[in-house]
Structure 1
Amino acid sequence: MLKNSIILNNGAKMPLIGLGTWQVNEPLELRNAMNAAFESGYRHFDTAFLYKNENIVGKVIEEWIRKGLVKREELFITTKLPLAGVHPDRVEMFLNKSLHNLGLEYVDLYLVHFPVCVKYHETIDFPLNEAGELQAEPTDHIAVWKKMEEMVELGKTRSIGISNFNKNQIARILEKATIKPANLQIEAHLYLQNTELIEFCKKHGISVVAYSPLGSPAINIFHEKQGYPTKNLPKIMEDENVISIAKKHSKSPAQIMLRFLVQNGVAAIPKSVTPSRIKENIDIFNFELDKSDIALLKTLDKGEAGRVCDMNGFKLSNHPDFPFK
């Protein structure tokens, strides 16, 4: 039976299922979700500077450690460098901010959240110009990566990686890296399987974490808050093939979707604030999809047409560093 963790290229152990926390900003809601996750066996928690919830995540972690319910070394905590930090002069500043928010001396994984850099404003995460476009500025991915390597050497993070980078951007980093990326975080689910990029990462010893592994059914909440058009979302969990396989294994459609990923060696960070679903999402290590299940599920891939988090609201599609190209 599949183990519940994978070993990164630096020897660190990362649980295959973590709790995603994007769009969970209300303190009590996130506290309850994290407590439910801890009680269900989660030890992998994913946040980001841009999520505005690192302080809540840190407080819950501190409570569990203080009560002797968990040890720091048992946890795998990920946070991310924001767009304004994708500049060599700002990497350490933003990591220090995240460590302060989390109340931690180090994180287990620090990711460059996007390959795009925006102008730095103290109080504005997504500065826009008069045309409603992000105020992007040039960056140097190699120089940024060298600063990320320094963060490992300083002991502020155990591992470093990237998020939303494409194959060409990753290849450029690999050419110059002293410390190879340990992880790539990307959107991946049955309708966007990202097979080519995942296989590229496997070839180069880079682990992959899937965000929106259930198709991000709540993304329209984010779009409405940002003033972006809402989307017609794919109802993957209502797909008749997924439902059929779920019935076959006496599991839920969500569990089938997550099992498909982890059985391919891809970790996943499903976001939920419902205790029963949080428990359900990690209960996927007591069954196995067979070859016919896998073959059928692979046929559901829609490629780019299945992408949910397309970032089009940022109006950066012509930017040279924009992801997914």
Structure 2
Amino acid sequence: MTPSDSLRYTRIPTHQSGTIPAVGFGTLIPDPVVTRQATSSALEAGFRHFDCAERYRNEAAVGDALQEAFGAGKLRRQDLFVTTKLWNTNHRPERVKPAFDASRKRLQVDDIDCYIVHTPFAFRPGDDQDPRDASGQVIYDTGVTLAETWQAMERLVDEGHCKSIGLSDITLDKLREIVAVARIRPAMVQVEAHPYLPEWELLDFCREHGIVLQAFAALGHAMEPRVLDDPTITAIARQVHKTPAQVALAWAVQRGTAFLTTSTNPGRIRENFDISALPEDAMRQMRDEISTTVRFNTVVKTGVPGFIPRAG
């Protein structure tokens, strides 16, 4: 392994749980059968960080793929970093541990490496994951605060089986509020971040407090304007003989963030793992020459993830 190739094995230190693999595989895949296949392909490609969620409704399929790999002797549980998330309808403190235990059972693992609050918005508690009123508006739960939910998350760490806790889809202001009152600080925050939304200020705050910033939509989800068509990124890709996706993902790790990428195509999965370090002048070009700014997911304003279908 050359120093250039070692980038894909980067681990980022966190105050809470040692280190977190920077290169992660996201499991937001609608079909459980395809989820299992994609997870197996990601394991074979070399991914060791897997991001799951109750809301994705496919934790059992991820668990099946993991158990298959364990059973075949391909890897051990301690080789993996597994995250999953508390959904918006389970923010009330009494609902947190049952939700956590249900995710562990579906994933077929005793311990979760990082349990994440999926969004800072509480929805009406209940079995309906997307509660709406007669006019189609989300029904929020005003009977619980994020700080109260966080305290319940902290108790999971106290009780064992949950090694660290984190937050997703959170703004810097809201993160500051939690860090100010937290007994156990977040180990990781997961936010949309890519060359068109670099979140430098949030990254600086996370570094200051020993929190790993993990980028979802690290390639822009092929939405317009397309990150991977950016002329600076495509020029660097030609220069270093890598794809634009590999350039964007290498940039993410080299600037100090973790990332998630999702694909159901085995070839694309291998490509997304096969990243190498960029020259320093390329990193400077990415920062200085890319001026487009766009947020693709409005979840930070509503708590409704933009990439998860409402039905099904």
Give me the TM-score of the superposition, normalised by structure 1. Answer: 0.87
1:279 matches 2:267: no
Q: Is the 8 A contact 1:189 1:215 kept in 2?
A: yes
User: 236, 257, 265: which one pairs with 2:248?
Assistant: 257
1:313, distance to aligned residue in structure 2 (A)? 9.6
Please give the residue correspondences for 1:1-325 in structure 2 after superposition, counting only pairs within 5 Å: 1=3, 2=7, 4-22=10-28, 24-122=29-127, 124-138=128-142, 139-217=144-222, 233-284=224-275, 287-298=276-287, 299-303=289-293, 306-311=294-299
Q: Is the 8 A contact 1:46 1:78 kept in 2?
A: yes
Paired residue type of 1:209: Q
Give the share of equivalent positions with the same residue, in percent. 32
1:301, distance to aligned residue in structure 2 (A)? 4.4
CA distance in 1, matches of 2:64, 2:17: 28
Paired residue type of 1:88: P
- Say which SS state the counterpart of residue 90 (structure 1) adopts: helix
1:35, distance to aligned residue in structure 2 (A)? 1.4
Q: Which residue of 2 aligns with 1:226?
A: none
Paired residue type of 2:135: A
Distance 1:247 1:70, change over 3 A: same
Q: Is the 8 A contact 2:196 2:291 kept in 1?
A: yes
Q: Report how many residues are paired.
A: 296
Q: Is the 8 A contact 1:33 1:275 kept in 2?
A: yes
1:167, distance to aligned residue in structure 2 (A)? 1.7
1:130, distance to aligned residue in structure 2 (A)? 2.1
CA distance in 1, matches of 2:133, 2:168: 25
Paired residue type of 1:295: R
Q: Is the 8 A contact 1:133 1:314 kept in 2?
A: no
Q: Is the 8 A contact 2:17 2:163 kept in 1?
A: no
Distance 1:260 1:116, change over 3 A: same
Q: Which residue of 1 aligns with 2:307?
A: none
Q: Is the 8 A contact 2:121 2:302 kept in 1?
A: no
Distance 1:260 1:273, change over 3 A: same
Q: Is the 8 A contact 2:88 2:123 kept in 1?
A: yes
Q: Is the 8 A contact 2:17 2:164 kept in 1?
A: no
CA distance in 1, matches of 2:291, 2:50: 27
Q: Is the 8 A contact 1:6 1:16 kept in 2?
A: yes
Q: Is the 8 A contact 1:255 1:283 kept in 2?
A: yes
Distance 1:288 1:40, change over 3 A: same
Paired residue type of 2:292: K
